[in-house]
Structure 1
Amino acid sequence: MQIGVDIPNHYLDAMHQTPEDFAQEAKLAMAAKLFEMKRLSSGMAAQLIGMDRMTFLAQLQRFGVPIIDLNDDELAMDIGNA
């Protein structure tokens, strides 16, 4: 499946990005959001955009997405298992 989006050139000019750079950033933003929403694992999100998992995880901070997002109960259980 492919998703196509028409981006006017003046948007690219305003962001000082080439079409290729914009496409890569848009794919990364989509993957980061799907990971944040817990729709994809970090490995699946990275694979979706052709990136290795560690590089993907390192990029999440650019989008304000935490690598680990546990609620209090999950954190307590994780600590208890450590």
Structure 2
Amino acid sequence: MSDILIQIPDDTIVALKCLPKDIGDEIRMLAAVKLFEMGRLSSGAAARMVGISRVLFLSRLKDYHVSALSLTQKEFIRETELLGISNL
């Protein structure tokens, strides 16, 4: 695993109401969630990025108002047809 060093202004740490030692974990989670939301990381890769299980990562997405399921309209229609729910 690679280490990445970032500098954060002290007033930002105060505004976040976090201890400095916890900010790295929070930023890593935020980055993983956003990269997952953008489709740049799978849920498994995002979970590994933050060092938690895939199931826990998916369950925590709601805390960030991100859906664990992201289907295109075409994929959604195909899935509903496969389930026999074609009249939505």
Partner of 2:73: 72
SS in 1 for 2:74: helix
Question: Higher relative CO (CA 8 A, sep ≥ 6), structure 1 or 2?
Answer: 1
Superposition misfits of 4+ residues, deviation over 6 angstroms: none
Query: What do the CA deviations read for 1:53-79 (whole angstroms, capped 9, x no partner)?
Result: 111112212222111111221011112
Residue type of the alignment partner of 1:41: S
How far does residue 26 in structure 1 lie from its aligned partner after superposition? 0.5
Output the TM-score relative to the length of structure 2: 0.81
Please give the residue correspondences for 1:20-59 in structure 2 after superposition, counting only pairs within 5 Å: 20-59=21-60
Tell me the C-alpha RMSD between the 2 structures.
1.4
How far does residue 10 in structure 1 lie from its aligned partner after superposition? 2.2
Output the TM-score relative to the length of structure 1: 0.86
Residue type of the alignment partner of 2:55: M
